[in-house]
Amino acid sequence: MTIKVVFFAALREQLDCSEISIAANEVQTVADIKTKLAHKNEHWQQVFSNGALLSAINHDMVTSDNRVKADDEVAFFPPVTGG
């Protein structure tokens, strides 16, 4: 019962990590995941202190208070710059 967490672009490079798996029973919201990731170490804490980061659940943009459940794919990334 896990949640797949993926990272993109500058965020992925800063973390030097593109994907991580976390236990679904330890988190209830996107904000919980962020907090959990920030507690890994000082570097991750610093990276996740960036208030501009965006998040998505199962390919839909969401805000931090959105709930997550097992088998969800949660993504974190910087503001988009396509086009």
Partner 1 sequence: MPLTHSTAVKISIQNQDFNLQDEVNLLEQDNAVDGAVVTFTGRVRNKNAGLTVSGLYLEHYAGMTEKSLEKIIIQAQKRWQIGRVAVIHRIGQLVIGEQIVFVGVTSMHRQDAFAAAEFIMDYLKVQAPFWKKELTEQGEKWLEAKQSDSKQAQQWDS
| Rounded Cα distance, 28 and 13, in Å | 27
Pairing label, strands 73-77, 2-7? parallel
Residue 15 is a binding residue for partner 1 (CB under 8 A): no
Closer CB to partner 1, residue 42 or residue 60?
60
Q: Please report how close the Cβ of residue 43 comes to partner 1 at its closest, in angstroms.
A: 18
Residue 24 is a binding residue for partner 1 (CB under 8 A): no
Q: Is 58 in contact with 72 (CB distance < 8 Å)?
A: yes
Q: Please report how close the Cβ of residue 80 comes to partner 1 at its closest, in angstroms.
A: 5
